[in-house]
């Protein structure tokens, strides 16, 4: 199995690291930021006594109390709206939405208010709001709980959207989001909550928003992905190496808005072939945007059309065999890679 490689920021941090899960790295970031800034508070359903549906907030209610870790009723529009107002007044709320699917109830607060406050008030009032929420499929949670909507939010000017794929970036990007003066959507991923990796102990370590990383270097093909698709892309890169002696470079976008086009373009200019991978639907999705930017920036460098892989464009089935057929597993990515390479 491929491992999620250490981001360069970790290697350059010059500090000690600890091996922990993606879930634990998120919790560490929250704890450090609650300690760092008294204006930070958490709000969400079941995040206090129950310690969160996915145990990301375990221990924080006991440590910081109900004023800093606030239990919310089942009313996403209500507590997201409350948090928008709190952010406008100078606090730094961190909202947990149980899954990305439930944020649909609060879309008006996110898109029409949080994203537009700074612009509509001429920069006099900001909205330093963080919304963290898991997405992804593969757990037989069916059509209403297995969607990837991060591209919806990346479409909206005024919002920033990050999608960490490693424990180090889970900590670093969440901390960067909390310290940012604009609203940031932190898109986590259910299947990788349990993944382990090295995470810097330094409480001042942050991962810059808007900067992609090269997760694996290569010379023959660039695979661009984010979130859990990075793990699958790394597995495919290893298969290409062992089966075809093809050297694939994997670029982890990390941030969807702002999008680091330069790192992607530099990679494609070197490899001359590109494959874009996402867990969401491809139509009007992240891969569509990235492919368009590659075509614009690297047209003369491309030796083949840009390939794209996404989830089958159907509501997610419950049956495990049908769910597997719907997801962009490594076999699909491998087949698309071979097609781009002209060896299919």
- pLDDT tens for 194-216 read 999 999 999 999 999 999 999 99
Q: What's residue 10's pLDDT? A: 53
Residues 6+ away with beta carbon under 8 Å from 265: 293, 294, 297, 298
Active-site residue, from 45, 51, 145, 150: 145
What predicted TM-score, i.e. pTM, was given to this entire model?
0.94
Active-site residue, from 76, 278, 289, 323: 76
Residue 36 is a catalytic residue? no
**pLDDT (tens digit per residue) in 145-188:** 888 999 999 999 999 999 999 999 999 999 999 999 999 999 99
Give yes or no for a contact between 247 and 278, defined as CB atoms under 8 angstroms apart: no
Fold classification of 8-200 (topology level): Rossmann fold (3.40.50)
Provide the mean pLDDT of the chain: 94
Q: How many residues does the chain have?
A: 344
* Residue 45, pLDDT above cutoff 60: yes
| Helix residue ranges, H only, 121-275 | 150-154, 167-179, 228-244, 261-271
**Domain boundaries of the chain, sorted by first residue:** 8-200, 213-341
The arrangement of secondary structure in 213-341, i.e. its CATH architecture, is: 3-Layer(aba) Sandwich (3.40)
* Residue 344, pLDDT above cutoff 80: no
Please check whether the two domains, 8-200 and 213-341, share a CATH topology: yes
pLDDT, mean of residues 112-137: 95
Complete DSSP assignment for 285-309: SHHHHHHHHHHHHHGGG-SSPPEEE
DSSP for residue 254: -
**pLDDT (tens digit per residue) in 263-315:** 999 999 999 999 999 999 999 999 999 999 999 999 999 999 999 999 999 99
Residue 331 is a catalytic residue? no
pLDDT, mean of residues 321-339: 94
* Residue 8, pLDDT above cutoff 60: no
């Amino acid at each position: 199995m491929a491992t999620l490689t250490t981001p360069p920021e970790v290697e350059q941090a010059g500090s000690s690291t600890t091996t922990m899960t993606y879930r634990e790295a998120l919790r560490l970031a929250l704890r450090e930021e609650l300690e760092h800034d008294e204006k930070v508070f958490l709000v969400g359903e079941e995040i206090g006594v129950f310690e969160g549906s996915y145990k990301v907030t375990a221990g924080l209610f006991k440590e910081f109390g109900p004023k800093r870790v606030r239990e919310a009723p089942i009313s996403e529009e209500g507590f997201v709206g409350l948090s928008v107002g709190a952010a406008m007044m100078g606090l730094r709320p961190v909202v947990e939405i149980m899954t990305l699917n439930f944020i649909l109830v609060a879309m008006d607060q996110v898109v029409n208010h949080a994203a537009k406050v700074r612009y509509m008030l001429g920069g006099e009032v900001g909205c330093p709001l963080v919304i963290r929420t898991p997405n992804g499929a593969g757990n037989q949670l069916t059509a209403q709980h297995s969607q990837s909507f991060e591209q919806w939010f990346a479409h909206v000017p005024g919002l920033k959207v990050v999608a960490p794929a490693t424990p180090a970036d889970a900590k670093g990007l969440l901390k960067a989001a909390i310290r940012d003066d604009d609203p940031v959507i932190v898109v986590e991923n259910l299947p990788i909550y349990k993944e382990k990796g090295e995470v810097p102990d330094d409480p001042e370590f942050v991962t810059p928003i808007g900067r992609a990383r090269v997760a694996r270097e290569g010379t023959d093909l660039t695979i661009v992905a984010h979130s859990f698709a990075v793990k699958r892309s790394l597995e495919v890169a290893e298969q290409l190496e062992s089966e075809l002696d093809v050297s694939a470079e994997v670029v982890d976008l990390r941030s969807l808005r702002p999008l680091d086009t330069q790192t992607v373009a530099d990679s494609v200019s070197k490899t001359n072939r590109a494959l874009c991978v996402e867990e969401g639907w491809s139509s009007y999705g992240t891969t569509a945007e990235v492919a368009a930017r590659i075509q614009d920036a690297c047209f003369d460098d491309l030796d083949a059309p840009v390939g794209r892989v996404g989830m089958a464009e159907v509501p997610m089935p419950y049956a495990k065999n049908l769910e597997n057929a719907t997801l962009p597993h490594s076999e699909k990515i491998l087949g698309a890679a071979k097609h781009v390479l002209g060896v299919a």
